[in-house]
């Protein structure tokens, strides 16, 4: 293994979001590319919001994607523990070091008071030393605090210099210490803040590259100050542009599915999602878009990463997922499809028909969640057009004319396959004078209940003569 060590550090407060998993994917790819270590750290120091259930669902999601980690809460490793709630003594120890070094000062204000003081001071343009004086607990405040059995919180004293780093994605970034402002490292309840815990963990876990979303850019100067104050070597930072919805606002529930769980349940394949998410803000040198995991690992580089936000294009994801579905072996497709088919898949008498139906649909669908609706018409006694437009089409005069002609011509044939079906449609056209959409869509509605779908001749062949005749007759007034 090389010296490269990256980490994915989710907070277990809910299901993984598409943005989180993209961060995990890029870290994993980077680790693989450099034969380094991919560390999983659970940031659960906020006990009120963190749950073991969420942690488990994160582990399950990562496993589903095949993003195996080298060290983590379930696996252990030389740099553990890997759950922040198990590292509280470590944060206390490093707080003591900061106290000895004179880098932090106590504060007895509540979070709300602290924010209020800071806000007013910023509005008034108060100089940093003045704000600090208002925040720092006096001897008497500390005594009152102690009498009430309370502990003070601890703030990091930010120097008034510029804090700069060479970001792997964004190039040189810098913040003025005065604008960063003193920040809490340990709260009065003894718990570390995110910035403190993350910096201590990254340092002790010897993380070499911190790759995360650019919503963390403003945290980085604070973390660099902690590294430097404690004489830890500062890792490289790479801030990945955030993902926006089609309307260019931050990707959220309003844009539809955003959690890994939703895509998993909708029948998206992990390989397709990895491919798609890697291509947000990054492109391969060849410009090719369907890239295997191995190619992503070989070809990934921060130099080819864009600095601007990426748009989450659901249509493109569906297209890409469709490509991956078509590349599955028939058996693998059938195995994955089973989870979407309920009883249909378990009824052995349907086996042959089901295989034909699935072969047909594998070339057509974009995600497995489309299957139930498309498979069902092959296994019912009556087709019920559900879409309003389909119902309207079936009762048009011209459609009725098509149905009558179809049923009559079909009776001249003793069996029905795709070729016979096409011949019948030609004859129906000649007899009724109806052609194009007005000819084909009513028949599609009769055989599937829908106005779009896979090749109609293939559908007819699978259904067979008896059921085709029955379904068309059912729509004749």
Write out the residues near ligand GLU by the rule CB under 6 A.
9-11, 43, 198, 212, 216
Separation of alpha carbons 35 and 28, rounded Å: 10
Strand, coil or helix: 167: strand
Closest distance of CB 323 from ligand GLU, Å: 31
Q: Which is nearer to ligand GLU, 216 or 470 (CB)?
A: 216
How far is CA 343 from its chain centroid? 30
Measured at the CA of 64, the angle between CA 202 and CA 268, to 5 degrees, comes to 120
Closest distance of CB 12 from ligand GLU, Å: 9
From the list 249, 222, 197, the residue with the least C-alpha distance to 91 is 197
Tokens of 100: 């000895």
184, 193 contact by CB (below 8 A): yes
**Cis peptide preceding 169, ω within 30 of 0:** no
Q: Which is nearer to ligand GLU, 11 or 399 (CB)?
A: 11
Closest distance of CB 212 from ligand GLU, Å: 4
Closest distance of CB 308 from ligand GLU, Å: 21
Q: Which is nearer to ligand GLU, 44 or 366 (CB)?
A: 44
Q: Which is nearer to ligand GLU, 145 or 203 (CB)?
A: 203
Q: Which is nearer to ligand GLU, 16 or 462 (CB)?
A: 16
137, 106 contact by CB (below 8 A): yes
Closest distance of CB 216 from ligand GLU, Å: 5
401, 366 contact by CB (below 8 A): no
Q: Which is nearer to ligand GLU, 43 or 299 (CB)?
A: 43
Q: Which is nearer to ligand GLU, 39 or 320 (CB)?
A: 39
Closest distance of CB 11 from ligand GLU, Å: 4
Q: Which residues partner with 107 through β-bridges? A: 153
Measured at the CA of 81, the angle between CA 27 and CA 189, to 5 degrees, comes to 105
Closest distance of CB 23 from ligand GLU, Å: 7
What is the C-alpha end-to-end distance of the chain, expressed in Å? 74
Closest distance of CB 275 from ligand GLU, Å: 23
Length, in residues, of the chain: 477
From the list 209, 276, 170, the residue with the least C-alpha distance to 33 is 209
Tokens of 181: 């402002």
Separation of alpha carbons 271 and 466, rounded Å: 41
Closest distance of CB 252 from ligand GLU, Å: 15
From the list 341, 302, 342, 336, the residue with the least C-alpha distance to 321 is 336
Q: Which is nearer to ligand GLU, 83 or 401 (CB)?
A: 83
Phi/psi of residue 212, nearest 5 degrees:
-155, 175
Q: Which is nearer to ligand GLU, 216 or 236 (CB)?
A: 216
């Amino acid at each position: 293994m090389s010296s490269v060590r990256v980490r994915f550090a989710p907070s277990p407060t809910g299901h993984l979001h598409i943005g989180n998993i993209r961060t995990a994917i890029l870290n994993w790819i980077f680790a693989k590319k450099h034969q380094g270590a991919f560390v999983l750290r659970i940031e659960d120091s906020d006990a009120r919001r963190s749950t073991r259930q969420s942690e488990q669902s994160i582990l399950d999601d990562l496993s589903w994607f095949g993003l195996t980690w080298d060290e983590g809460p379930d696996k252990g490793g030389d740099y553990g523990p890997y759950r922040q709630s198990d590292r509280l003594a470590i944060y206390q120890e490093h707080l003591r070091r900061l106290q000895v070094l004179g880098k932090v000062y106590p504060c007895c204000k509540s979070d709300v008071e602290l924010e209020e003081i800071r806000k007013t001071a910023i509005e008034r343009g108060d100089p940093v030393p003045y704000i600090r004086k208002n925040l720092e607990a006096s001897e008497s405040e500390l005594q009152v605090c102690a009498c009430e059995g309370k502990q003070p919180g601890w703030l990091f004293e930010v120097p008034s210099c510029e804090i700069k780093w060479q970001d792997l994605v964004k190039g040189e970034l810098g913040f003025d210490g005065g604008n960063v402002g003193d920040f809490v490292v340990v709260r009065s309840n003894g718990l570390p803040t995110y910035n403190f815990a993350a910096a201590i963990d990254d340092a002790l876990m010897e993380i070499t590259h911190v790759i995360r979303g650019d919503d963390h850019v403003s945290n980085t100067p604070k973390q660099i100050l902690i590294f430097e104050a404690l004489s830890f070597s500062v890792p490289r930072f790479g801030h990945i542009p955030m993902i926006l919805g089609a309307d260019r606002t931050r990707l959220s529930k309003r844009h539809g599915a955003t959690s890994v769980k939703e895509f998993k349940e909708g029948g998206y394949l992990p390989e397709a999602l990895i491919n798609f998410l890697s291509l947000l803000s990054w492109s391969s040198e060849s410009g090719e878009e369907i890239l295997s995991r191995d190619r992503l690992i070989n070809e990934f580089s921060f130099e080819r990463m864009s600095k601007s936000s990426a748009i989450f294009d659901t249509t493109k994801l569906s297209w890409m997922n469709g490509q991956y579905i078509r590349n599955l072996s028939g058996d693998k497709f059938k195995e994955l499809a089973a989870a979407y088919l309920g009883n249909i898949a378990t009824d052995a008498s349907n086996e042959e028909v089901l295989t034909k139906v699935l072969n047909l649909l594998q070339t057509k669908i974009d995600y497995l969640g489309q299957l139930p609706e498309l498979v069902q018409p092959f296994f019912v006694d009556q087709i019920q057009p559900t879409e309003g437009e389909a119902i309207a089409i079936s009762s048009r005069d011209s459609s009725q004319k098509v149905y009558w002609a179809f049923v009559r011509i079909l009776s001249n044939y003793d069996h029905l396959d795709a070729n016979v079906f096409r011949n019948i449609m030609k004859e129906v056209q000649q007899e009724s004078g109806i052609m194009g959409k007005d000819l084909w869509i009513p028949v599609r509605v009769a055989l599937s209940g829908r106005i779009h779908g896979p090749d109609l001749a293939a559908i007819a062949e699978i259904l067979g003569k008896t059921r085709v005749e029955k379904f068309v007759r059912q729509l004749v007034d």
